[in-house]
Amino acid sequence: MFEKRNTQTRKLNYLIENQVENPQITDDVPEIEFFPRFLNLSDCELTDEEKVLLNKGIKYCPKHELSNDVIQNLAVDIENSLDRQETAVKYKCVDTLKQCMKSNQPNFNSREFSLIKQIKNKCIDQDVTITKADKNDSIVFFQTSEYDSKMRDFLSNNDAVLLPRDPTNKYQGDVKNVIKYSCLLTEKEKFKLINKNPTVPKIYGLAKVHKTGIPLRPVVSYRTAPAFRLAKKTNDTYRYFTKFKNPYSTYNSIEVVDKLKNIEVPPGAKLVSFDVVNLFPSIPVPELKTLLEENIQRTTKLNPLLKKELYDFMCMCLDQNYFAFKNRIYSQRDGLPMGSPLSSLCAEIFMYHLEKKILEEENEFKDKVIYWVRYVDDILCLFSDTEEEIQRFSQYLNSLHRNIQFTTEYINEGRSINFLDLTISLRNGKHEFEIFHKPTSTDVTIPWDSSHCIIHKRAAFTYYFDRLLRTPMTEENYKKEYNRILRIGLNNGYSLHWIKKILESRRKIQMCAIICPSHQQSQKKKTTYRKLLYTGDVSNKLKRLIETDTRKVALYPNRVLGRTLYNRKDTLPNDKKSGVYKLICNDCNGYYVGQTARSFEKRIKEHVSAHTNKAMNKSNFAQHLLEENHSFNPTTGVKYLHFCEGGRTLNVLESIEIRRNNPDGKILNFQLDVLDSPLIRFVTSVHDNKTK
C-alpha cells in the first residue's frame, strides 16, 4: 500500500516538475543556418556533383553491393564471432548469404564511389590535404603547403626535438622486458599486451575553424606505439587499485546540470570560467611521477614488489613521448604523451593535486568558491565576491605552479556564462540553463540514406532528446532546442514522425526510471561482444543467427566518407604493415601463401635468410628454392594480399587464400587446411565462380 502511494507521489511530482517540457509545438519547423559541412580553403575546384557528395557529411556511408570483398569481410567477422565447434550456425550463415546473393542488385551508388575516387585524385594532383574541423564535423580542404606550415608552427612553438633515429625498436624492447618479468599480469595478458608490429605514432591536425587564422589542433594517433596496449592496461590497473576519482571533474553537461540545479546562489555571487593553457604539454612529468609513487604507496591492495611494478609501468609509458610528421621523428621534451590512454588519467591526478590546494587547504579564497567544476581544461566556478577579488583569485591560481597557467573569462557581470554545451545564467538565486551551440556548429549526423544500421541512426537523436529532457529550461528555450533537433533530422532526410517517435520513447523511459527505479541484479550473466560489418538486411539476419544470451553483436559500417577522404597522416609503406602475403618463385611460378603479425619486411627477410643460410626447416618457400635450385626476387616476387593486425583474422584470411590458390597445383605450402570451415569454403567458391 505504502509502495503504491510512493509510486503515485513520484509520478505526480515528476509531472508537476516537467509540465513545461510538453509544449504544443507545430510541425512548422523553422529554417536554421548551420556552419557549412565542408570548407574549401584550397585552390582545388570542385564540381557541383562533388559538392553534393561532400555535403552529405563525414558520417555518410555509401551502400556497398554484396561483392566478393564484402562477403569475405562478413565471413571473417562471423568466424571471429563463433567458436570453431559451432558448425551448425556457420552453415545457417552460409545459407543466409546464398539467399541474399540471389536478390543482390547491382550497386546503385557506383557513381558515388567514382566521385570519391575523383576527389582523391584531384587532391593528389593539386597537392591538397583533407582533414576534419576541430569541435565540429566539417570537412576542411587545405593546400598541403599551408597545412604543413601550420603543423610546423606547432612543433616549433612547443619545443619538439628532432630525433636522429627511430627509437621504436628500443621502446619495443623495453616494453617486452617489463611485461616478460611482470607479476601483475597473467600469461594471457602478457601475450595480448605486446604489439607485434609497432610503428611510430603519427601526428596530424584538426582545423580550429572557430578561431582567427584557423590554426590546427594537434592529434597523435598513438594506437600503433609500442606502449599503447600497456598504457591502456596500466590506466585500468591504477584506477582499480587506487580507487582514484577526482570530485571536481565532470564527464558531460548532463552531469553538470545534475550538480548545479539544486545549488542556491548567494547574493553577489558571480560565474567565472577558467581555462588551463595547453594542459597536456604543461604537466611536469618529474613532479607527476612523484605524485604517482605516493598514491601507489598508499594503497593496501598491493605488496611492495607489485607497487614498484605498477609505478615502473606508468613511468615507461610516460617516457615514450614521440611522434612522426612528414617522415621525420620528433620527441616532446615536456608534458604528457599526446594520444596515450594514460595521459588523461595523469592530467586528472596532477590537476587534483592543485585543486586540493585551492579548494581544501586553507587559503584566503577557499570560502569564496561556492563550486568548482572542471571538464579536462575548462573550469566553471561560482565565486562569491567582487570583480577585483576575482582578478586576485586568478593571480593566485597562476602562482600555484609555473607550468600551469589559467586564462579567465568573466562576462555579463558574472550573471551568465557558456560552459561545455550549456549557457548557465543566475536568476533569482537559482541557475537557469539553455543548450549552447557555437557559431561553427553543423547539422552533420548520419543521413537517412547512409548504409548504417538503424541503432546508429537513432543514437544521435537519443542523445539530443535525453539532453533536452534532462536540462531544465524555459518553455521558449525548450521549443528553440526542440526545433533545432527537428531541423537537423529534416536536413539529413529523416521524417518528422520518425524523429518524434524517438522523443516519445525517451520521455517514457525517463518517466519510468523516475517513477519505478530499477534495482540492479546481484548476478549478471557475463556478456561478450563481437562485431559484424553492416551491409543491409543481410547483416541483421546474420546478427540474429550469431547472438545468444551471453554473446551480443555490434554492427559497424563500411568506410564512411570522412575516413575514406582524409589524407592528413603520413602513410605507412606497405612493407611496414602486417597481414597475408604471397611469395612467387622466379623460375616456376610456384608460390607460397603466408601470414605475419609483424611487418612484411621482417618476415620476408627471414625467408630470404633461410634461403641464403640453407635452413630448409625455417621456410617452406626456401626449401623449394633450395631443392629445385630456383631463385627469388624480393622486389618483384612479393604480393601483399591483405593488410590486417594479428589475431584470428590473420588465420581466417590465410586459410581463404590458401584454399583459393590450391586448385592450380602451384602452391608450395605443406599445410593446406589451416582452418576448415563452411564459411571459408563458401567464400572460396563464390570467388571462383565470379572469376570464371
User: Both 471 and 368 in a single domain?
Assistant: no
pLDDT of 26 over the 50 cut: no
- Give the closest residue to 104 by CA, choosing from 538, 596, 673: 538
Residues 459 and 386 both lie in one domain: no
Domain ranges, residue 295: 149-435
**pLDDT for the residue 65:** 85
- pLDDT tens-digit map of 595-645: 999 999 999 999 999 999 998 888 999 999 999 999 999 999 999 999 998
Q: Is the pLDDT score of 513 beyond 90?
A: no
Q: Which of 373, 406, 435 is the last residue in one of the domains?
A: 435
Question: Is there a single domain that holds both residue 361 and residue 296?
Answer: yes
Is 373 part of any domain? yes
| Stretch 92-113: mean pLDDT | 83
Q: 491 and 600: one domain? A: no
Mean pLDDT, range 572-598, rounded to an integer: 92
Residue 218 lies in a domain: yes
Let me know whether 632 and 509 are in one domain.
no
Q: Which residues, including other chains, have CB under 8 Å from residue 6's CB and lie 6 or more apart? A: none
User: Does 542 reside within a domain?
Assistant: no
One domain, residues 357 and 469: no
Q: What is the pLDDT of residue 19?
A: 44
Flag whether pLDDT at 14 surpasses 60.
Answer: no
β-pair partners for 584: 591
Amino acid symbol at 62: P
170 and 311 co-located in one domain: yes
- pLDDT for the residue numbered 686: 80
List, in sequence order, every residue forming a beta bridge with 455; answer none if it has no partner: none
pLDDT given for residue 8 in this prediction: 53
Residue 520 forms part of a structural domain: no
- The residue behind cell 539532453 is 467
Q: Distance between the two ends of the chain, CA-based, in angstroms?
A: 75
Confidence of residue 10 (pLDDT cuts 50, 70, 90): low
pLDDT of 80: 93
Question: What average pLDDT does range 57-68 have in this prediction?
Answer: 90
Instruction: State how many domains the chain has.
Output: 3
Same domain membership, residue 412 and residue 282: yes
Q: What is the pLDDT of residue 519?
A: 54
CATH number (domain holding residue 633): 3.40.1440.10
Q: How far apart are CA 691 and CA 486, in angstroms?
A: 48
Question: What's the whole-number average pLDDT of the chain?
Answer: 89
Taken in order 655, 661, 662, 666, the sign of the CA dihedral is negative
pLDDT-wise least confident of 165-174, 382-391, 409-418: 409-418
Where a domain ends, among 409, 435, 461?
A: 435
Domain end residue (candidates: 435, 467, 488): 435
- Average pLDDT of the segment spanning 521-529: 69
More confident residue, 641 or 85: 641
Residue 68 lies in a domain: no
pLDDT the model gives residue 347 = 96
pLDDT at position 159, please?
Answer: 81
pLDDT tens by residue, 364-394: 999 999 999 999 999 999 999 889 999 999 9
What is the rounded average pLDDT of the residues 59-72?
90
Mean pLDDT value across residues 429-455: 93
Q: Specify if 490 maps to a domain.
A: yes
Same domain for 482 and 610? no
Angle between helices 68-81 and 648-661 (to 10 degrees): 130
- Model confidence at 665, pLDDT cuts 50, 70, 90, reads low
DSSP 521: P
Long-range contacts of 656-661 (CB under 8 A, 24+ apart): 656/72, 656/75, 656/680, 656/683, 656/684, 657/580, 657/582, 657/593, 658/593, 659/684, 660/684, 660/687, 660/688, 661/582, 661/591, 661/593
Structure confidence by residue, pLDDT tens digits, 325-347: 999 999 988 899 999 999 999 99
| Whether 465 and 608 share a structural domain | no
* Res 358: pLDDT: 94
- pLDDT at res. 522: 46
642 within some domain: yes
Residues 237 and 312 in one domain: yes
Strand order in the sheet with 270-276: 369-375, 378-383, 270-276, 406-409
Residue 135 has a pLDDT of 86
The answer to the question of residue 23 being in a domain is yes
Q: What was the pLDDT predicted at 512?
A: 81
pTM, entire model: 0.88
**Do residue 459 and residue 429 come from a single domain?**
no
pLDDT digits (tens, 9 = 90+) for 447-478: 999 999 999 999 999 999 999 999 999 999 99
Q: Summarize the confidence of residues 301-311 as an average pLDDT.
A: 94
